[in-house]
Amino acid sequence: MTNRINPRSGTAFKLAKGQRLVIIDPEGQQVSDLLAFNADDVREVVSNGRTFDYADTIYLTTGHTLFSNRSNPMLEIVADDVGTHDFLLTPCSKDTFERCYEDEPPHRGCFGNLAAALAPHGVEPDDIPCTFNVFMNVPVDGNTGGFTVDPPKSEAGDTITLEAKMDLIIGMTACSAPKSNAGSFKPIDYRIED
């Protein structure tokens, strides 16, 4: 069964160890901010710094594992049609809109959507770290350190598949920030495979 995350919204659900999460960009050029928490203790959460440390790269794709703040494997990327994702930036929030999109009406963003979806699982807003931003295209200039947020390279129907390495609570969005998805707000689909 394929589930849909409507434009500018979010959801949370359980993913058991060994299950695979297939994230689908149904229309192309859309971003999904992804979080993973240990289902038995939500103080353990995915960490960009630990993941970078163990991968020796900031660009993550098939074969890389997302690690927790306690250095445990959480999700392994087992298939990836796109190969371009971001793990540098925090989810867009009301503050992001105020600072980066002065001409846009403010929106609670992926941060607010994740906070609302994860609250029933005992996750507080301050516990939300950098998300793994699926399909988000943030090329970094290695000389200056500068980066841009470019349109995603994903085309309609492209997927990434992640396998759970422990029992997880997953938070996921269909991104709300104009820059991340070339100014169009689209849905994200996903399914869980045993």
Q: In the stretch 32-71, what mask flags binding to its own copies with x, by CB under 8 A?
A: -----------xx--xxxx-xxx-xxxxx--------xxx
Q: Name the residue nearer to its own copies (CB basis): 95 or 155.
A: 95
CA distances from 68 to 44, 51, 58, 105, 147 (A): 6, 8, 16, 34, 25
Q: Does 180 bind its own copies (CB under 8 A)?
A: no
Please state the closest distance from residue 126 (CB atom) to its own copies, in A: 4
Which residues 137-176 are close enough to bind its own copies by CB under 8 A? 139-147
CA distances from 171 to 55, 56, 89, 104, 145 (A): 23, 25, 16, 25, 29
Euclidean distance between the first and the last CA atom of the chain, given in angstroms as a whole number: 12
Residue 122, phi-psi category: left (phi > 0), alpha (psi -120 to 50), beta (remainder): left
Please state the closest distance from residue 89 (CB atom) to its own copies, in A: 5
Q: Which residues bind its own copies (CB under 8 A)?
A: 43-44, 47-50, 52-54, 56-60, 69-71, 88-90, 93, 95-96, 99-100, 124, 126, 128-130, 139-147
